[in-house]
Amino acid sequence: MPQIIRPDEVRAKYGDLFCQGLYTLVDEENGVAQIVERCISRGPIEWDVVNRKRTGGIITDIRVDGYTIIMDTIIGERPLNFGPVSAELGGQGVSALRVDGDRVRTTWAGLAGASVGVGACLPQCRDVIETVYPDGYKIGGANHLQVEIVTPRMVRVIVGMDDTDTREKGATWVTAMKLGRQSPVGRFLDHKIVQLNPKAPNKTTNCCSAAVSFAVKEEEVPELIEYCTEFIRSDSFSQDTVATVFKGLRIPEELSRFGWEAKSTLFTEEDALAVAGRNGVQVIDVTGTKGVIGAVAAIGCFDMGLRSSGVPEDFE
pLDDT digits (tens, 9 = 90+) for 247-257: 999 999 999 99
The stretch 110-137 carries a mean pLDDT of 93
Residue 77 near residue 96, CB atoms below 8 Å:
yes
The stretch 74-78 carries a mean pLDDT of 98
Helix ranges restricted to H, 145-291: 172-182, 221-235, 253-261, 269-278
Q: Mark which of 109, 136, 154 sits at the end of a domain.
A: 154
Give me the pLDDT at residue 143, please.
Answer: 81
Give me the pLDDT at residue 154, please.
Answer: 98
Same domain membership, residue 118 and residue 180: no
Quickly state the pLDDT bin for 90 (edges 50, 70, 90).
Answer: low
Same domain membership, residue 176 and residue 231: yes
The stretch 63-91 carries a mean pLDDT of 83
Q: How many domains does the chain have?
A: 2
Which of 77-86, 139-148, 226-235, 305-314 ranks highest by mean pLDDT? Answer: 226-235
The stretch 134-146 carries a mean pLDDT of 87
Give me the pLDDT at residue 86, please.
Answer: 53
The stretch 39-53 carries a mean pLDDT of 92
Looking at the predicted structure, is the pLDDT value of residue 234 above 80?
Answer: yes
What pLDDT digit, counting tens, does each position of 166-213 carry? Answer: 677 778 999 999 999 999 999 999 999 999 988 776 656 668 999 999
Q: Mark which of 154, 171, 201 sits at the end of a domain.
A: 154
Q: With b meaning 16 or more CB within 10 Å and e meaning fewer, what string describes 209-241?
A: bbbbbbbbbeebbeebbebbbebbeebbbbebb
Give me the pLDDT at residue 87, please.
Answer: 44
- What angle in degrees, to the nearest 10, is found between the helix axes of 269-278 and 292-300? 40
Same domain membership, residue 111 and residue 178: no
Q: With b meaning 16 or more CB within 10 Å and e meaning fewer, what string describes 76-87?
A: eebebebeebee
Q: Mark which of 99, 119, 154 sits at the end of a domain.
A: 154
Distance CA 38, CA 261 (A): 34
Quickly state the pLDDT bin for 113 (edges 50, 70, 90).
Answer: confident
Closest CA to 198 of 190, 188, 207: 207
Domain that holds residue 259: 163-315
Distance CA 251, CA 158 (A): 10
Distance CA 220, CA 184 (A): 11
Same domain membership, residue 107 and residue 188: no
Same domain membership, residue 180 and residue 54: no
